[in-house]
Amino acid sequence: MDNLIIAYTLKDSGFLGYIPECVAIYTDSSGQLSTRFIKVTSSNKNNYKSQIDEVDEQLMQCCFKLESDVIVSKIKDKAATSMEALQKKYFGKSKSDPAIQHVREFITDLVNRQQNRFFDLIGDRRLFLPQGKFPFMWKHLFVEMELPELKYRFVYTDQGLQYSLTMLIDNQLADLKGSELVSLKRARILRGNHIFEFDGDVEGAKLVPFFGRDSIQIPISHTEEYLQKFVLPIISKTQIEAEGFTIQTIDDLPNVVLKISEVKKAEQLDVFDGKKVVESVQNDLQFELLFEYEDFRFRAGKPAPKVKMVLNEGILSFTKVRRDLEFEGLLVKSLLNLGINLDGRAERQPYRDALDWINSHYDQIQALGIEVRYEKQDQTKRKIFVGNCAISLELNEGNDWFDVRGNAVFGEFVIPILVVLSHIRHNKSEIRLPNGEYALIPQAWFDEYQTFTDYCRFDDKTVTVAKHPCGIADRLSRNNSAKLTLNDKLRKFIDIDHISDYDLPKQFKGELRNYQLAGYNWLRLLDELGFGGCLADDMGLGKTIQTLCLLQWMKEHDRGKSLLVVPTSLVYNWQIEAARFCPEMKISVHTGKNRSVETKEFRDADLVITTYAVLRRDIEQLRVLPFHYLILDEAQAIKNPQSAVNQACLQLKANRFLTLTGTPVENSLTDLWSQIHLTNRNMLGDVNRFMRACKHPLKVDYFRQLIRPFVMRRLKSAVLTDLPEKSIFVQYCDMAPAQADFYYQIRNSFRDRFLDKAKEESNTFQLLEGLLRMRQSANHPVMVDENYTESSGKFDMVRHKLDEIIREGNKVLVFSSFVEHLKLYKKYLDERNISYCYLDGSTKEREKQVDLFQNSDNHQVFLLSLKAGGTGLNLTRAGYVFLLDPWWNPAAEAQAFDRAHRIGQKNKVFVYKFISRNSIEEKIVKLQEEKIELFNSIIEAEQDISKQFNREELL
C-alpha cells in the first residue's frame, strides 16, 4: 500500500534564486519514493492534515508567500502582471532608474525574508531538487549547519586589480566553481547536494561571478572607482589577503577628547517688528566627545568611515581602524553619570552653566582619562612636582570582591588610591596636585599595577575588584606590592595542589583514580566559589567520568537540571557513560526533528544533552530556560568569538559554566579567550584588547597568573602512575544521513536475497558478500561505490581524533581490515601535508617503515592493515591505537594493539575501537561478547563464520 510523505523542493526562478515549494510524495511499502507527487497549495493543504505538524504549517506559509501570483500582486503595476513581465521590467540589465531600483529592492527583500525563514525552519526535513520527471529521480539536498568562511584576495598592479574569492568548509579550502545561487541577499549556495549559508552581510549576487571562473580582472581605468565602492567596505568588515598594496590596522586605545567650543548665541525675531534680537553678548559653549585613533576622529555614538584609501602615483595603501566600542561606551556612560549626554550628539549650554559644570567635574573627567580641549584655556607653562613619592595598597576580601584601599603620597600631599589607579588605568601619567603642580606617576607603578587596574571597578569613593583575578592579587602580595587577606578556600583555589577532598555522590557507580578525584575536588571547589572552569585533560584521561561524578552530586543535592552540549557524534557515548556511572540520573536527549522543551522528559530531566547544531537552531527556546550548569564538551567548537554557536552559548542562562576539551587551549589565544569568557564572563575583557595585550611579555605573564586557577590540564606523562597499563574505549559513531541511506539499501538488498535462497547450500558466498558490503558501508560507502560523494560519520570522527593526537604531539597506530579504508586516510593526511608511515600486505620495506615510525618525531601516524601489521612488529613509540573496524575475532584485535603494548613501551596505551551505530558493527561487538567460546578457538578466515552462526543470528 502506498503512503504519503510531506517534503519540499527548490525551484530555480532564474532571477530571484531558488523558490521553495511543498509537495506530497507517494512512497512504496519500503519507504522508497515512487513516481507520483502532488504540489501542496493553500487550497488543498487540508487534504494532508495528518502528515502536517506546526513547523510544516510555517514552512508552507513561506512557500505560499513565494508563489508567483503572490509576488506579482505586491507590485501594483499593470505592465507587470506575470513573473516574466516583472523580470523583464525590473530585473533586466542597466535598470538605473531610481523608481525601478526601489521596486527591485522591495521584491528581493520580500523574497529574502521568506527564504531566510524557510531555511531557518527546514532542519532535517526532506528537501529535494527536482532533476527528472519522477520523485525517485530527484536529488536529495542537505542544509549544512556550519557557516563557511570566505577568503578574499586582491592583487593590485599597474594593469589593474585582480579579485579572487575562495571559501573554507570544515577548515578545508574549496572554490566556488560549479555552485548555484540559492538566494540573492543572504547568501546561500548549492554545491553538489549541500546547501551552504554564509554570514548575514555576504550578498549572494556578489558570489555569482566566481561560479564559473577563478578571478575577476578590473582594468586600471575603473580600478579607483571599484576600490572605493567595493574593496573599502570589504576591508572594513573582514580580513583580506592583499598583494601590491598595504593595509595598516590601528587598534590602539584612542585618545579621548572632551571638546569645548564657543558657538554664537541663537538669534531670535522680535514678534512685533521682526527685528533680530540677541539675548546676551556671551556666547554659548558646546560639548562634544571625540575619540581620536591617530588620523581618524569619531564623535561618540556616531558611525563614520573606518577605512581610508590613498592612491598616489600608482602606490596604493589602506589604513583601517578598529573602534573599541566597549571602551567608548563606558566613557559615554561615565559622562552621563556626571550629568551630560554626549551619545551621538553635541550638547549646548549657556556659558556660565557650562563653566560651572566643567569646573565642578574637572577632576572626575581627568580621572576618566579624558583630555579637555578648550580654545581659550590658559597656555602658561605648568609646574611639575619634584620630591618623594610612595604608594600603599591593601586588598581585603569581601563576599564577592576585594575592597581596595590605600593612597599615594607626593611630598606633603596624600592622593586617594582611587585617583592614582584611575590615572594608571587610563595611561595618564600626570596627577594635578592641590597647589596646581603636576606630579608624574613613576613608570614602576604602571609596570606593577596597570593590568590589575583593568579589573578594578571605580565608584565615587571606592575601588573594588572581583574575585576572578585572585591570581593577580596573589602575585602582587608575593611581590610585596599589596597586602592581601584571603579565606582558606580561596587560598586553596589559588594553590591548586592543596585542595581538600569533597564527599562523593552516594549513587555514583564508578571509581575515580587519584588524578580524577583531584579533578572532581577542583570542580566542587569551583562550584562552591561560584566560578566557572575549563577541564582540559589529555584525551583518554576521563573528563567524562569526572564531570558525571560532579553532576551526580548536583542531582543528589537538588541543584536543578544541567545542559550538556556536545558534537553530534558524541551524544550516544555520553548516554552510555551516564547510564553506566549514574543509572539514577534522568537524561533527556534534545535532538531530532521531534525535539521539544515542553515534553515531560525534558522538564523532569537532571541532565539535558543536545548538540551544537541543535543549540544554534533552538537558541530562542533554550535561552529562556534556567540551568544550573552549562557544560560544553569538545569546547573548541566555540573558538571563534564571532561564530553563531559561540553567540548562542553566551545567551544561555546558567548558574555555573564548565568547558571540556582535550585540545591544549594554549595553542590558540582566541580559543582560550572564548572558553574563559564563557565560563567567567568578562574576566579577560574585550577579545581585541586581550589579543593586543598578549603581544607584551609582561601582560602575558599577568594573564597566565590570572587564568591558571581556572584551567585544569593534566598530561598523560604527568599521571602515568595513576593509569592502567592499557585502556580500551569503544567510540560509537553516528552514520551520516546519506551514509545511513546507502547502508540500509545494501542491507535490505542482501537480506532479501538471503531469505529467497536461504535453503540453498550455495548461499554461503552471497552471505559473505553481503556481510562484507555492510561492513564496508559502515566505514565509508565510497569503499563500495566509488561514485559516492557524501560524508561518513566514522571518517569524520576519526579525522577529529587524529587531529587532536597530532596537535598534542603523540603517536598513533591506525589499523583496518580493509586496505581501501586505509587509503582514505592516506589521502586525508596527504592533503594536510602530514607525514605518516604505511604498511599493508604489498609493502616491501616493512623494516624501513617501522624504523621511521620508531625514530622519527615527524611521523606521528602509522597506517596498518590488520593482517599485515598484526604480528611481528615492535611499535612502542605509539601511545594510541585506533581500530577502525571490528574484526570477527577479538584475538586478532588484541594482536593489533599489542604491537604498541609490549616490553619497551614507556607510555600507557589507549585503544579506541570505532563502531558505527545501528550497523552490523554493533552486532559484531555483541556477538563477540556472546560467542566468546567461538573466538577463543581463533578463527582464521571470515569463511568460517557461516558454519558457526545459525540463521536467526545472521538475520
- For CA atoms 644, 646, 651, 654, the dihedral sign is positive
Contact at 8 Å (CB) between 27 and 21? no
Task: Note the pLDDT tens digit of each residue in 44-58.
Answer: 999 998 889 999 999
Instruction: Please indicate whether residue 540 or residue 949 has the higher confidence score (pLDDT).
Output: 540
φ, ψ dihedrals at 656, nearest 5°: -135, 155
- The cell numbers describing 197, all together, are 549559508
Q: Give the Cα separation of 209 and 215 in Å (integer).
A: 8
Q: pLDDT per residue over 387-412, tens digit each?
A: 566 777 777 776 666 777 888 888 78
- The Cα–Cα gap between 187 and 108 comes to 12
pLDDT digits (tens, 9 = 90+) for 555-593: 999 999 999 999 887 888 799 889 999 999 999 999 988
Neighbours of 88 (CB within 10 A): 13
- The pLDDT confidence band at residue 142, using thresholds 50, 70 and 90, is very high
Distance CA 584, CA 939 (A): 41
In this structure, of 354-363, 469-478, 700-709, 776-785, the range with the lowest mean pLDDT score is 469-478
DSSP 823-838: HHHHHHHHHTT--EEE
The pLDDT-based confidence of 940 (bands split at 50, 70, 90) is very low
What phi, psi does 489 have (nearest 5°)?
Answer: -70, -40
Q: Which residues are within 8 A (CB) of 200 and not within 5 positions of it... i.e. 6 or more apart?
A: 186
pLDDT digits (tens, 9 = 90+) for 748-775: 888 777 776 655 554 667 777 888 899 9
d(CA 192, CA 152): 23
b/e code 728-758 from CB counts within 10 Å (16+ = b): eeebbbbbbebbbebbbebbeebeeebeeee
- Cell numbers for 265: 548665541
Split at pLDDT 50, 70, 90, the class of 776 is very high
CA 4 and chain centroid, separation: 39
Please, which residues bridge with residue 926 across strands? Answer: none
Mean pLDDT of the chain: 82
Instruction: Give the residue from 794, 721, 667, 711 showing the smallest Cα distance to 543.
Output: 711
Q: Where are the beta strands (DSSP E) in 884-941?
A: 909-916
> Quick one: residue 377, left, alpha or beta (phi over 0 = left, psi -120 to 50 = alpha)?
beta
186-198: b (≥16 Cβ within 10 Å) or e: bbbbbbeebbbbb
User: Which residues, in sequence order, are CB contacts of 603 under 8 Å at separation 6+?
Assistant: none
Binned at pLDDT 50, 70 and 90, residue 302 comes out as confident
State pLDDT tens for residues 513-572. 888 999 999 999 888 888 888 998 877 788 999 999 999 999 999 999 999 999 887 888
Rounded Cα gap, residues 785 and 787, in angstroms: 5
Using one digit for the tens of pLDDT, what is the confidence trace for 484-511?
A: 555 555 665 666 666 778 899 999 998 9
Nearest alpha carbon to residue 181 among 212, 145, 146, 211: 211
State the pLDDT at residue 323.
Answer: 87
How far is Cα 881 from Cα 865, in angstroms, rounded to an integer?
13
Degrees, nearest 5: CA angle 150-115-68: 130
Q: Which of 195, 63, 201, 65 is nearest to 139 (CA)?
A: 195
Judged by phi (left if over 0) then psi (alpha if -120 to 50, else beta), residue 495 lies in: beta
Cβ-count burial of 85 within 10 angstroms (0-12 exposed, 13-18 middle, 19+ buried)?
middle
pTM to 2 decimals?
0.51
- pLDDT score of 889 more than 90: no
Cα 11 to Cα 76: distance, rounded to the nearest angstrom: 25
Q: What is the 3-state secondary structure (H, E, C) of 629-696?
A: EEEECCHHHHCCCCCHHHHHHHHCEEEEEEEECCCCHHHCHHHHHHHHHHHCCCCCCCHHHHHHHCCC
Q: Given a cut of 60, is residue 434 above it in pLDDT?
A: yes
3-state secondary structure of 741: helix
Using 50, 70 and 90 to split pLDDT, how confident is the model at 938? very low
Residue 309: pLDDT band (50, 70, 90) is: confident
- Give the pLDDT mean for 137-152: 88
pLDDT attached to residue 941: 35
CB-CB contact of 195 with 144 (8 Å): yes
Residue 372 pLDDT: 76
pLDDT digits (tens, 9 = 90+) for 683-731: 787 888 788 777 777 677 777 777 888 888 887 767 766 555 677 888 8
